[in-house]
Amino acid sequence: MTTKDHLTFWGFKLLHIVLFIVVPIITVGVGTWAIGFVCYGLFAGFVLSIVFQLAHTVEHTHFPVPNIETNKIDDEWAVHQLKTTANFATKNRLACWFMGGLNFQVEHHLFPKISHIHYPKINKIIKSTCEEFNVGYIEYKKVKDAVVSHVAYLKQLSYPSFSH
């Protein structure tokens, strides 16, 4: 890392400590802060784990392994992203707001530096392109559908003969 990278990295770590630990403790006290911090951490962790499980660990996503001879994945990068990632509830405005667009995981993986507010428009272009080139695109219409698929996949994993 360059000196600038270190300053940026450690500066934002310090800012985080000040904003999320020092200021709240000064404002509300250690006990109240600790309760709030734990609740915040548990809630954020729960939401993120749900999002990532529904986006990657569902029935239709793939878990490719590298070619034994070349030690490389056979698919090109973009196709790999499409095969290993799923979207869910992309038409649900509340879900999109609540998850900050992370329910558009395909778009997030293909265009990680583009703001999530553009994902709905990009979604249509990617779907159309996938259809044109006969490449699969995994999307569940509702959160419930993704949860059902996730649970079904976990059930499949419980069988001894299952291989992904």
Residue 163 within a domain: no
Residue 149 sits in the same domain as residue 77: yes
- Give the span between the Cα atoms of 99 and 53, in whole angstroms: 13
Asked whether the predicted pLDDT for residue 162 surpasses 90, the reply is no
Residue 26 sits in the same domain as residue 66: no
Picking from 150, 51, 147, the residue whose alpha carbon sits closest to that of residue 99 is: 51
* pLDDT (tens digit per residue) in 36-51: 999 999 999 998 999 9
User: The domain containing residue 139 runs over which residues?
Assistant: 57-157
Residue-level pLDDT at 11: 97
How many domains, in total, are found in the chain?
A: 2
Residue 78 sits in the same domain as residue 111: yes
Residue 135 sits in the same domain as residue 62: yes
- Does this model's pTM top 0.85? My answer is no
Residue 45 sits in the same domain as residue 80: no
